[in-house]
């Protein structure tokens, strides 16, 4: 499977999550991504990062609720849960409060908002767990190769760090030493940092031996054209995206977005002339890749259509405080996200070596 297809699928699910605050639909998106990850992730260390992203999403949700309790929200409410001591602020800080009355409406509104961001993070974690970073780097255009290397190193740092922590804690438990608390954390942190430093030095040596950073000479006219196309394309993408997200820019948003994407792709094509590298056995973009990417795009498009036609179902109100409804056809629109679980072959399991009797 092409790694770009997994990223398009996951980013499309994240885009779908931004179109709704209904916790039932967000839970369906999380469940779909979790099922695909559980059935298709490989045993590689970077594939274990999904649980870390889930914890990060839960932490974001908790922080959003704590901010709502401490700083308040502009949502009016009548169901008071408790009252905190309020700290008076100067007149120039009007609209901000510290403490005061905490209502159920404010907490529910903050929970909806935090759950949307947590779902987006979990979808990105699914892409990290399914797509190999090294294979994704091979698929990038030549103009983005150096940037892609930096991004891949950043994405693989956390999974390797988590794997090192688990390995060291397991070793300490086997030796009968404490692996929890402040003492265990301090004794595990130093070997982890030492391993990260050794990995960084080895990576730098490998990149230098492979000629990383070597570029070809291109005419100045081509460089200026490349910069103009890339910058103009990115500005067009930003303006088109803003137009699609606003009600007033719905007429010009899509044409500007398509023009910006075309200009950016042309700039990347010209910029690839400076990269002196070849691809060994590139990953093909086959029928399964189209199905995986298309399933995610279909979910995003259907939920965007549902948010425009029935905004009350996808954005449940909190004033008055009511239970969120379960919209039937937007829920059915999430089901195509499960298509990769059935069209993509599962990764082969690594056989375990039986232990010898002692």
For residue 239, the enclosing domain spans: 221-274
Q: Which of 118, 110, 108 is nearest to 33 (CA)?
A: 118
Q: Which of 343, 135, 25, 199 is nearest to 127 (CA)?
A: 135
Residue 356 resides in a domain: no
What was the pLDDT predicted at 273? Answer: 62
Does 253 share its domain with 167? no
Does 330 share its domain with 293? yes
Residue 358 resides in a domain: no
**Per-residue pLDDT tens over the stretch 184-229:** 666 777 777 777 777 767 776 776 676 665 666 767 777 778 778 8
pLDDT at 31 over 90: yes
Greater confidence, 82 or 281? Answer: 82
Task: Report how many domains make up the chain.
Answer: 2
Does 209 share its domain with 232? no
Does 257 share its domain with 122? no
Q: What average pLDDT is seen over the chain? A: 77
Residue 27 resides in a domain: yes
Q: Do the Cβ atoms of 196 and 157 come closer than 8 Å? A: yes
Residue 351 resides in a domain: no
Q: Do the Cβ atoms of 110 and 121 come closer than 8 Å? A: no
Residue 146 resides in a domain: yes
Confidence of residue 327 (pLDDT cuts 50, 70, 90): confident
Does 37 share its domain with 180? yes
Whole-model pTM over 0.75: no
Does 238 share its domain with 113? no
**Per-residue pLDDT tens over the stretch 276-289:** 566 666 677 888 88
What was the pLDDT predicted at 354? Answer: 46
Residue 298 resides in a domain: yes
Does 204 share its domain with 155? yes
Does 122 share its domain with 233? no
What was the pLDDT predicted at 36? Answer: 92
Does 99 share its domain with 244? no
Q: Do the Cβ atoms of 3 and 298 come closer than 8 Å? A: no
The rounded distance, in Å, linking the Cα atoms of 216 and 195 is: 35
Does 338 share its domain with 231? no
Residue 326 resides in a domain: yes
What was the pLDDT predicted at 27? Answer: 92
Dihedral sign, Cα of residue 164, residue 170, residue 174, residue 175 = positive
Does 306 share its domain with 262? no
Does 66 share its domain with 193? yes
The per-residue DSSP string of 84-124 comes to EEEEP--GGGTT--EEEEEEHHHHHHHHHHHHHHHHHHHHH
* Least confident residue range of 16-30, 176-190, 299-313: 176-190
What was the pLDDT predicted at 32? Answer: 92
What was the pLDDT predicted at 229? Answer: 80
Residue 283 resides in a domain: no
Greater confidence, 156 or 303? Answer: 303
């Amino acid at each position: 499977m092409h790694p770009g297809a997994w990223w398009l699928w996951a980013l499309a699910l994240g885009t779908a999550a931004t179109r709704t605050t209904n916790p039932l639909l967000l839970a369906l998106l999380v469940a779909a991504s979790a099922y695909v990850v559980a059935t298709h992730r490989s045993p590689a260390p970077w594939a274990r990062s999904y649980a870390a992203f889930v914890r990060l999403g839960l932490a974001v949700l908790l922080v959003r609720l704590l901010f709502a309790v401490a700083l308040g929200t502009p949502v009016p409410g009548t169901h008071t849960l408790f009252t905190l001591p309020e700290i008076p602020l100067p007149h120039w800080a009007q609209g901000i409060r510290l403490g005061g009355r905490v209502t159920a409406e404010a907490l529910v509104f903050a929970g909806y908002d935090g759950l949307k961001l947590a779902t987006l993070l979990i979808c990105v974690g699914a892409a990290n767990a399914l797509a190999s970073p090294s294979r994704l780097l091979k698929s990038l255009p030549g103009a983005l190769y150096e940037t892609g290397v930096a991004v891949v190193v950043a994405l693989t740092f956390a999974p390797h760090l988590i794997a090192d922590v688990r390995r060291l804690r397991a070793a300490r438990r086997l030796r009968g030493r404490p692996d929890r608390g402040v003492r265990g954390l301090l004794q595990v942190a130093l070997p982890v940092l030492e391993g990260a430093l050794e990995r960084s030095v080895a990576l730098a040596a490998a990149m230098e031996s492979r000629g990383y950073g070597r570029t070809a000479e291109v005419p100045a006219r081509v460089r200026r054209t490349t910069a103009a196309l890339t910058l103009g394309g990115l500005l067009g993408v930003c303006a088109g995206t803003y137009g699609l997200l606003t009600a007033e820019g719905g007429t010009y948003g899509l044409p500007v977005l398509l023009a910006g994407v075309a200009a950016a792709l042309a700039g990347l094509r010209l910029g690839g002339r400076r990269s002196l590298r070849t691809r060994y056995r590139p990953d093909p973009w086959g029928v399964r890749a189209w199905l995986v990417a298309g399933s995610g795009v279909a979910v995003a498009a259907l939920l965007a259509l549902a948010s425009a036609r029935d905004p009350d179902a996808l954005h449940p109100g909190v004033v008055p405080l009511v239970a969120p409804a379960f919209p039937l056809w937007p829920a059915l629109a999430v089901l195509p996200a499960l298509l990769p679980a059935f069209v993509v072959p599962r990764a082969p399991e690594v056989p375990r070596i039986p232990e010898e009797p002692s």
